[in-house]
């Protein structure tokens, strides 16, 4: 299979295959012309391209889903569009000229071949059903009656009407001598046969009686040379076309010309016409397909005369086309012999587009317009006359007259002539004696003439209407035949004989007797029955006198003939106890069909039918005498029986000649010709003669016995059926119980299996859970590692922050120390200056004190900027008080220098008391701060311990006891160390703050004492004591600062060591870090606060 990619169309090459698929995938019709598939047939040949086999004809079935196609070699293919399959039906070896489906039996197809025959094939069994012979020329068309019972096979010389029920010729229709028949077909949905003669006249005939009915409206004097015709499915319209580009359209309701359609100028002649079915245009067949000489199939609307679309092209010219009954597909044969399948739905989509402009001329013709033409004359209706007789009313216009010649049940020869030679008995006897047989072509006709068959259709139909005789209902079991069609014909003939004479229903050997004639005349069942009836009445009439025993009287005649002509052979039979029932009766009851071939049997019966019925017995005796040498060598009964039931090497010509010699030389008293009656043909009329040459009581008794046996058998069969039904029900119940138990066992096994599967799944699930738990543990460990890494990074960051903070504190301490040293130096300088000034000049003392007071105020203002407006007001009041005090001291110093030493001593004592009070206050403040810090740290430690215990309990199931105890030990140890460090850092911070506060208090007290000297003016003081106490206090403070700095440095080193120890710890140390981290944060917070 090759696919055309651009057009989405399938191209298939059968290539001699018997079957295959049409489409390998879903295809879409080509948008340009709706082409769906292209089918070719190429066989391997001498050339690489192979041999191209041309398709010539095709036909759709009644349903439109399948079509058959035949090629020039006679291969018939069936294409099923629904099942997407093609199959080879038959290889006939002859070119196909016409095809059709059997309407009544859809599985049968009718094929017209080049040997002038029509053959019927079964598409399912792929075998031939019947062969219809008798045409004198090639068949060009096949037309079936709407009922499917009749077939019209049309050739250029004659048209034969066939009965498809029995495949027999019913009528032969011939044209007149002066004019021939162009086409003959059945008009749909009617019982009319339309005949179109070569003079363009159209006539209608009754199908059953072939009586003339009407003539379709005449056209005029001009000759159109019609060659193709088409009718709608309802038979209302008839269109004809020929060698011109005019189409004539008639309405069959009034049988008058409706219109004349002129085709485009490109069309010169019409090759084929076809109507698209009603499904295409909504119930009315308005679309007509016209295949012209240019190979293009044009579809036009017969009412609007518009060209709708066309199929084919000059590159792909069409020669034949058919449309499906559903109107969905059109199949065509191209000039190259290819099968083309078009989709009507795809082509119909182009109807929405405006058609190309075409010149169309419509000629309207009324009923009287054609009669008003000059010189036209009405024609005389055609009459039907029997063949061989002249018509009583010849036609006036011989140039335009036509006739149909009928023959009732005959072939091409007439009833009493063959090729113009009259038939009589003497002449036929001379022919058969001279040539030994009749011509094969005319044998059937001669036999019917010799037997004078009446052709009683009515009587035979009445016998057939009775149906199958009960005696032959099971014929296929008693007498099996491979061909179903032949078996059906045999059963029908035997049933008709049994209905005609009851004795034939009881005759066991009747199928063997009848079968040769059935095989010979299977296509003409009426002739077969009448020949058999004639043979049974005349040649076998004496056989049933001793029924059901063999005919002893007839066998005695054969024995007498054998005793007269060959006594030695008879003695040999008698010596071996071989009776006539062994050597004569098998030949009689089979009519020589077992011992002779087909041609020999036909030659023998040509002579038997041409002579007296007694010649049959002479032939039996002649066969025995001609086989005497072989029979004389037979010694056993089995040899004799085998000889008379099988074909033997006997020359049939000698047997016939010996029979003629015996007929002439046998005495009158022994000659069967003189003892038996001559031929009595069947009587003509509505019934056949009565056959009662048999013992009625025996036959009736056998019939009654058969009926009784049949009833008993039916009763037995009924009881047997009941028993079988009961047994079947019992067996079914047993099977159901067994099935139920098996099902229950299966359910139990399935339940056990499911339990095992569930257990396996649970174990797998448990393992998966373990793996999942391990994965979770690993993920948790990874998460903890990540958290630990993040915590370490945070600790590093925190450490860096602490280091920065400590560095800042160091810088601040250094700055404070430098500032304090500077202040101390300045204080010492001021004291020296004061001492010098006191010694040198008392007046400068007041100014120096005032300067120191202002410096102290400036220092207090700088350090306590955050105090509010109240402190500024108090400081202002204090400054004014000091200024006033300074003025008084200055006045007192100028007036009483003697009191200066006492004032200085009182001032020094006062400063010492103030320092002691400040130290006490500093100790109390330090004690309170320590107590507050201890309380806060104890509370924080309690909270952290609760958190640590909660975490320890959560990790109790996952961690080992050793690690937990080790973690607790490390946590408690680390907590004690951190607590000591925190306490120490807090104490250092508090000492630093106290030192700063002490300096501020001292400066303030000093300022106050300097500002109010009259408070201690009552106690004596000296300048040297004041200076020495100041120096001692400064040394103490310096020593405390040095200790504080050393402790800060040691504390920093311990913090660095602890951070490095935390970074290298294991999982337990991490758990411990959870408990120590809050304490570190508390320490850090406390340190920051203290700082």
Model confidence pLDDT, tens digit, residues 94-130: 889 999 998 888 889 999 998 899 999 998 888 889 9
The pLDDT, as a whole number, for residue 58 is 92
The pLDDT, as a whole number, for residue 1063 is 46
Residue 834 contacts residue 907 (beta carbons within 8 Å): no
d(CA 653, CA 247): 64
Mean pLDDT of 286-293: 89
Q: Is the pLDDT of residue 675 over 90?
A: no
d(CA 278, CA 287): 9
d(CA 203, CA 222): 18
The pLDDT, as a whole number, for residue 398 is 31
**Nearest CA among 667, 580, 591 for reference residue 624:** 580
Q: Is the pLDDT of residue 92 over 70?
A: yes
Q: Is the pLDDT of residue 861 over 80?
A: no
Residue 560 contacts residue 672 (beta carbons within 8 Å): no
Residue 197 contacts residue 402 (beta carbons within 8 Å): yes
The rounded percent of the chain whose pLDDT value lies above 90 is 9
Structure tokens at 346: 């795809």
Mean pLDDT of the chain: 76
- Higher pLDDT: 139 or 403? It is 139
In angstroms, the Cα distances linking 674 to 557, 614, 615, 782, 942 are: 11, 8, 10, 130, 153
- Higher pLDDT: 1059 or 544? It is 544
Mean pLDDT of 299-317: 86
Q: Confidence band (pLDDT; 50, 70, 90) for 1023?
A: very low
The pLDDT, as a whole number, for residue 76 is 92
Residue 275 contacts residue 287 (beta carbons within 8 Å): yes
The pLDDT, as a whole number, for residue 51 is 80
The pLDDT, as a whole number, for residue 333 is 93
The pLDDT, as a whole number, for residue 244 is 87
Mean pLDDT of 369-394: 34
Residue 678, phi-psi category: left (phi > 0), alpha (psi -120 to 50), beta (remainder):
beta
The pLDDT, as a whole number, for residue 399 is 30
Mean pLDDT of 526-531: 88
239-243: long-range contacts, CB 8 A cutoff, minimum separation 24: 239/273, 239/275, 239/288, 239/302, 240/196, 240/200, 240/202, 240/273, 241/270, 241/273, 241/290, 242/200, 242/269, 242/270, 243/268, 243/269, 243/270
The pLDDT, as a whole number, for residue 381 is 34
d(CA 1002, CA 823): 12
Q: Is the pLDDT of residue 889 over 60?
A: no
- Higher pLDDT: 695 or 359? It is 695
Tens of pLDDT, residue by residue over 915-968, are 777 777 777 777 777 777 677 766 777 776 677 666 656 655 655 665 565 555
Tens of pLDDT, residue by residue over 574-618, are 998 989 888 899 998 888 988 999 899 999 999 998 898 989 899
β-strand pairing of 108-113 with 96-101? antiparallel
d(CA 935, CA 1086): 12
Q: What share of the chain is helix, strand, coil (3-state, %, to 5)?
A: 50, 20, 30
In angstroms, the Cα distances linking 89 to 42, 45, 74, 122, 1041 are: 18, 23, 10, 8, 125
The pLDDT, as a whole number, for residue 1073 is 40
Range from 6-10, 96-100, 253-257, 643-647 carrying the lowest mean pLDDT: 6-10
Question: Could you tell me which residues are beta bridge partners of residue 79?
Answer: 67, 86
Range from 158-162, 315-319, 357-361, 548-552 carrying the lowest mean pLDDT: 357-361
């Amino acid at each position: 299979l090759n696919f055309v990619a651009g057009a989405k169309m399938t191209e298939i090459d059968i290539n001699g295959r018997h079957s295959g698929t049409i489409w390998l995938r879903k295809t879409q019709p080509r948008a340009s012309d709706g082409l769906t598939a292209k089918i070719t047939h190429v066989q391997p040949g001498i050339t690489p391209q192979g041999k191209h086999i041309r398709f010539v004809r095709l036909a759709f079935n009644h349903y439109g889903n399948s079509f058959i196609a035949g090629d020039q070699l006679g291969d018939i293919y069936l294409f099923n569009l629904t099942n997407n399959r093609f199959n080879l039906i038959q290889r006939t070896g002859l070119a196909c000229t016409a095809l059709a489906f059997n309407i009544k039996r859809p599985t049968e197809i009718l094929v017209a071949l080049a040997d002038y025959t029509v053959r019927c094939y079964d598409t399912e069994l792929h075998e031939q059903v019947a062969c219809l012979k008798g045409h004198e020329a090639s068949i060009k068309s096949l037309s079936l009656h709407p009922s499917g019972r009749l077939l019209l096979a049309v050739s250029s010389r004659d048209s034969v009407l066939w009965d498809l029920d029995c495949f027999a010729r019913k009528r032969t229709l011939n044209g007149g001598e002066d004019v021939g028949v162009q086409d003959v077909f059945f008009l749909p949905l009617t019982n009319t046969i339309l005949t179109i003669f070569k003079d363009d006249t159209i006539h209608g005939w009754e199908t059953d009686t072939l009586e003339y009915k009407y003539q379709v409206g005449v056209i005029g004097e001009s000759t159109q040379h019609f060659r193709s015709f088409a009718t709608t499915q309802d038979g209302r319209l008839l269109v004809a076309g020929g060698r011109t580009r005019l189409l004539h359209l008639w309405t069959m309701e009034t049988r008058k010309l409706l219109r004349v359609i002129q085709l485009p100028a490109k069309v010169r002649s019409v090759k084929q016409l076809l109507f698209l079915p009603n499904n295409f245009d909504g119930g009315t067949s308005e679309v007509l397909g016209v295949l012209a000489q240019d190979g293009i199939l044009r579809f036009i609307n017969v009412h609007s005369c518009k060209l709708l679309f066309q199929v084919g092209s000059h590159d792909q010219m069409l020669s034949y086309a058919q449309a499906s009954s559903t109107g969905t597909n059109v199949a065509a044969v191209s000039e190259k012999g290819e099968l083309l399948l078009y989709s009507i739905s795809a082509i119909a989509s182009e109807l929405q587009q405006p058609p190309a402009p075409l010149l169309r001329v419509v000629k309207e013709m009324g009923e009287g317009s054609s009669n008003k033409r000059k010189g036209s004359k009405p024609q005389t209706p055609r009459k039907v006359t029997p063949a061989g007789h002249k018509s009583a009313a010849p036609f006036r216009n011989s140039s335009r007259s036509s006739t149909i010649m009928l023959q009732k049940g005959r072939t091409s020869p007439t009833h009493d002539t063959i090729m113009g030679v009259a038939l009589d008995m003497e002449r036929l006897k001379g022919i058969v004696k001279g040539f030994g047989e009749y011509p094969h072509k005319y044998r059937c006709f001669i036999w019917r003439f010799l037997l004078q068959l009446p052709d009683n259709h009515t009587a035979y139909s009445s016998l057939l209407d009775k149906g199958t005789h009960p005696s032959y209902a099971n014929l296929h079991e008693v007498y099996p035949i491979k061909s179903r069609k032949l078996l059906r014909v045999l059963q029908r003939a035997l049933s008709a004989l049994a209905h005609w004479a009851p004795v034939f229903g009881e005759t066991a050997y009747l199928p063997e007797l009848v079968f040769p004639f059935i095989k010979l005349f299977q296509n003409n069942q009426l002739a077969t029955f009448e020949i058999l009836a004639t043979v049974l009445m005349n040649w076998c009439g004496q056989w049933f006198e001793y029924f059901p025993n063999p005919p002893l009287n007839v066998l005695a005649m054969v024995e007498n003939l054998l005793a007269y002509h060959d006594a030695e052979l008879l003695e040999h039979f008698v010596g071996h106890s071989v009776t006539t029932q062994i050597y004569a009766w098998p030949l009689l009851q089979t009519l020589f069909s077992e011992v002779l071939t087909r041609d020999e049997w036909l030659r023998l019966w040509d002579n038997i039918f041409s002579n007296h019925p007694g010649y049959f017995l002479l032939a039996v005796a002649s066969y025995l005498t001609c086989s005497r040498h072989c029979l004389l060598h037979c010694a056993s009964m089995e040899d004799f029986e085998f000889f008379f039931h099988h074909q033997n090497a006997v020359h049939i010509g000698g047997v016939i000649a010996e029979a003629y010699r015996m007929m002439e030389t046998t005495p009158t008293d022994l000659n069967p010709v003189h003892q038996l009656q001559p031929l009595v043909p069947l009587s003509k009329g509505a019934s056949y003669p009565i056959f009662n040459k048999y013992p009625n009581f025996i036959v009736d008794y056998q019939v009654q016995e058969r009926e009784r046996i049949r009833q008993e058998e039916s009763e037995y069969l009924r009881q047997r059926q009941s028993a079988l039904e009961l047994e079947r029900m019992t067996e079914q119940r047993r099977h159901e119980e067994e099935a139920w138990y098996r099902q229950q066992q299966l359910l139990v096994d399935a339940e056990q299996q499911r339990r095992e599967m569930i257990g396996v799944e649970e174990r797998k699930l448990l393992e998966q859970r373990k793996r999942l738990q391990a994965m979770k543990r690993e993920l948790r460990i990874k998460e903890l590692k990540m958290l630990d890494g993040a915590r370490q990074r945070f600790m590093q960051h925190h450490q860096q922050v602490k280091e920065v903070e400590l560095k800042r504190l160091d810088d601040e301490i250094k700055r404070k120390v430098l500032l304090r040293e500077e202040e101390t130096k300045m204080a010492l300088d001021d004291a020296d200056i004061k001492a010098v000034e006191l010694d040198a000049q008392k007046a400068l003392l007041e100014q120096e004190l005032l300067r120191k007071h202002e410096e102290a105020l400036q220092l207090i203002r700088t350090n306590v900027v955050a105090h509010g407006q109240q402190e500024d007001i108090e400081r202002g009041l204090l400054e004014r008080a000091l200024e006033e005090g300074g003025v008084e001291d200055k006045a007192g110093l100028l007036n009483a220098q003697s009191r200066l030493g006492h004032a200085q001593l009182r001032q020094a004592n006062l400063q010492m008391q103030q320092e002691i009070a400040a130290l006490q206050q500093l100790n109390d403040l330090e004690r309170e701060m320590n107590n507050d810090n201890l309380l806060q740290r104890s509370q924080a430690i309690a909270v952290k311990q609760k958190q640590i215990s909660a975490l320890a309990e959560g990790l109790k199931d996952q961690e080992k006891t050793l690690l937990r105890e080790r973690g607790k030990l490390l946590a408690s140890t680390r907590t004690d160390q951190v607590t000591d460090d925190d306490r120490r850092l807090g104490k250092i911070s508090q000492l630093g703050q106290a030192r700063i506060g002490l300096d501020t208090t001292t400066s303030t007290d000093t300022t106050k004492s300097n500002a109010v000297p009259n408070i201690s003016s009552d106690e004596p003081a000296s300048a040297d004591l004041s200076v020495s106490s100041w120096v001692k206090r400064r040394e103490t403070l310096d020593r405390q600062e040095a200790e504080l700095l050393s402790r800060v440095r040691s504390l920093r080193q311990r913090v660095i060591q602890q951070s490095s120890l935390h970074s290298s710890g294991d999982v337990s140390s991490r758990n411990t870090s959870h408990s120590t981290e809050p304490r570190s944060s508390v320490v850090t917070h406390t340190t920051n606060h203290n700082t």
